């Protein structure tokens, strides 16, 4: 496996595969050396990805996207309402 240092270079699926390898009993020093990570990075990933499989990660991404769309809709409605309350009307 290539020498991985930062989350920016790893996809979520790669991180999940790395965490599953650790769950299978690879010794911790060997694990850190093989993946080029320190204990701090490992524990950050373990907190976020520990016990997660790819189907769960896909669902998380779907929920994040749905949440983003809801926030955007709320912002648009709120801005339109604020414009209307101030006497400004915008033609859409």
pTM: 0.48
Q: Which domain holds residue 62?
A: 53-92
Could you give the number of structural domains in the chain?
2
Q: Are residues 41 and 85 in the same domain?
A: no
Q: Are residues 37 and 81 in the same domain?
A: no
Q: Are residues 77 and 90 in the same domain?
A: yes
Q: Are residues 13 and 39 in the same domain?
A: yes
- Residue 60 CA to residue 7 CA, distance in Å, equals 17
Residue 8, burial from CB neighbour count under 10 angstroms (0-12, 13-18, 19+)? exposed
Q: Are residues 2 and 43 in the same domain?
A: yes
* pLDDT tens digits in sequence order for the chain, 92 residues long: 444 455 457 777 788 888 888 778 777 778 788 878 887 888 888 888 777 777 887 888 899 999 999 999 999 888 888 777 766 655 55
Q: Are residues 4 and 43 in the same domain?
A: yes
Q: Are residues 48 and 80 in the same domain?
A: no
């Amino acid at each position: 496996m290539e020498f991985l240092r930062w989350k920016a270079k790893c996809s979520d699926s790669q991180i999940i595969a790395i965490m599953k390898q650790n769950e299978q009993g690879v010794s911790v020093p060997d694990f850190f050396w093989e993946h080029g990570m320190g204990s701090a990075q490992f524990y950050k990933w373990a907190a976020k990805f520990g016990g997660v499989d790819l189907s769960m990660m896909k669902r998380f991404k779907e929920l994040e996207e749905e949440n983003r769309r809801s926030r955007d809709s709320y912002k648009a409605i709120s801005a339109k309402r604020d414009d209307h309350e101030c006497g400004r009307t915008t033609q859409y």
